[in-house]
A and B are shown apart, each in its own frame.
Chain A
């Protein structure tokens, strides 16, 4: 690993604290969905992605498509801590006229690859980007053989378009494509596996022809190892089913789906920051 694990854990805590503050100050929802994917983002942005915050449009960069757009606060905070934009910009999150809407718009800040918010788009977009590399002679698209990572929610896997992409990607042998599912077991109004029969989720991806693994989505070292499987030696797309806890990092939010929509009070924000070792 490029970084010390303790350092990465500390970064994840800072991002979580920032996300809680952003929800408190803006009144924007989806806090728990943001908290569940933070370790995935830290593993990707600090260890895996070949990226340079100074050159966010480098054609050869690895791409991370943040398909669960409702957790935008986590993406914005990650990009800010990774150096893509100033941290002070986060104070403008969801404020009228700011460049940080509650769901990311296209190129709203450097490092945001796609607009998202409507679920089920990112994997197909990522497939198109992954395919583009081999579509025409290499001279057409400059740069190295980039990889494309798509961060999705488990609720998002309700969308039929996800499974259309899941069918096509192995047929095209796009070994440079990776789907990461933030499997926090909740969707907006219910347990994901009660709403739709997602389980066994890893087996589904494998049955579709993907190289599929399950990891603890809060174990940064394990995530880094899983992300390192891309590109797949056999040319298969890679699916990482990351088991996570919705609201991770704040005891009174963990696995409580009220925090899909609830906004933390000032006191709750203070308690959350204390738990994260930030107050």
Chain B
């Protein structure tokens, strides 16, 4: 994902976009080509993220399109005050790129994990929150963010994420993408967990359950037409994210439901738990601990779907 990010960054700068990359002392060698070609458009802001975020806001005031880039928690929760006051209050076009969001840096411990960022950033007025699912969506999301007149949080993975889209899909902020059609249940995935959700759909298919899978890449603003459609069509709609069940995509959809008359579809939320992982272990291990694996998701969906069916046909 980060390679896709840099490739699109170079493309945008080549096209003459007034982009400036601010790095929180990260991305060793990653930005070499960009730095050599656009030396005046790269600043290593050091390990000082609060200052970096305000510097980005100051640059945006002057007509530039700054991007802050570091490990997700350091460019979100670490400097939340600066995002709120300097970026969001002034409604400035700053792109906040958080790399290794969710459990991407699970092996580095909870200091580097980022499972509360969506909740905190989406509560801020003027903020847009996008969680690309694969390298292709990263490029499309970065381009869309560059042309968006306001703050955008780009919640990125790290490296080696599998491609989901064989061809670049139509991409617009706030418009979810159907990846796989289905008729029984609907799985809304946001971010890098999407390939796991596609595998879960395979497991469900073997059990005779046709799951629709959606890349619900924008958590704010919510794609309300898509939600209205799937909650009227499916008896079960599940949200899946590498983020706390509190305040992320699942929380957003729950809020959306609470404001409406009862819908046909029932909501099931998959996400990380309300606790820190104190033991060692990488992303796969952490996903397993939080029940974010294809078999675990499929099993829970299958169980709830069976119970809904029993309720419907007594």
Q: A residues touching B (Cβ–Cβ < 8 Å)? A: 59, 105-106, 113-115, 118, 120-121, 124-137, 140-141, 160-161, 164-165, 167-168, 171-172
Q: Please determine whether A134 and B82 come into contact, CB atoms closer than 8 angstroms.
A: no
Within 8 Å of chain A (Cβ to Cβ): is B160? no
Q: Please determine whether B55 and A128 come into contact, CB atoms closer than 8 angstroms.
A: yes
Residue of A nearest to B58 (CB): A128
Q: Please determine whether A124 and B58 come into contact, CB atoms closer than 8 angstroms.
A: yes
How distant is A215 from chain B, measured CB to nearest CB, in Å? 26
Chain B interface size, as a band, is 20 to 34
Within 8 A of A (CB), among B39-86: 40-41, 43, 45-46, 48, 50-51, 53-64, 66, 81-82, 85-86
Q: Which of B40, B48, B61, B63 is close to A125, meaning CB atoms less than 8 Å apart?
A: B61
Q: Please determine whether B40 and A129 come into contact, CB atoms closer than 8 angstroms.
A: no
Q: A136-B40, A164-B50, A168-B45 are in contact. Are A127 and B55 (CB under 8 A)?
A: yes
How distant is B15 from chain A, measured CB to nearest CB, in Å? 13
Q: Which of B64, B82, B85, B89 is close to A135, meaning CB atoms less than 8 Å apart?
A: B64
How distant is A166 from chain B, measured CB to nearest CB, in Å? 9
Within 8 Å of chain A (Cβ to Cβ): is B20? yes
- Bound-complex Cα distance A131 to B53 (A): 14
Q: Please determine whether B63 and A168 come into contact, CB atoms closer than 8 angstroms.
A: no
* Central interface residue in B56, B62, B82, by most chain A CB within 10 Å: B62
Q: Please determine whether B40 and A137 come into contact, CB atoms closer than 8 angstroms.
A: yes
Within 8 Å of chain A (Cβ to Cβ): is B125? no
Q: A134-B40, A136-B18, A168-B45 are in contact. Are A161 and B59 (CB under 8 A)?
A: no
Q: B residues touching A (Cβ–Cβ < 8 Å)? A: 18, 20, 40-41, 43, 45-46, 48, 50-51, 53-64, 66, 81-82, 85-86, 89-90
Q: Please determine whether B54 and A124 come into contact, CB atoms closer than 8 angstroms.
A: yes
Pairs across A and B, CB under 8 Å, 24 listed:
A105-B89, A115-B89, A120-B50, A121-B54, A124-B50, A124-B51, A125-B54, A128-B62, A129-B61, A129-B62, A130-B58, A132-B20, A132-B61, A132-B62, A136-B18, A136-B40, A136-B41, A140-B64, A161-B54, A165-B54, A167-B46, A167-B51, A168-B51, A168-B55
Q: Which residues of A contact B85 (CB under 8 A)?
A: 115, 118, 121
How distant is A156 from chain B, measured CB to nearest CB, in Å? 13
How distant is B76 from chain A, measured CB to nearest CB, in Å? 16
- Bound-complex Cα distance A137 to B51 (A): 24
Which 9 A-B residue pairings sit nearest by Cβ, starting from the closest? A128-B58, A124-B54, A164-B51, A132-B62, A164-B48, A128-B55, A125-B58, A129-B58, A161-B50
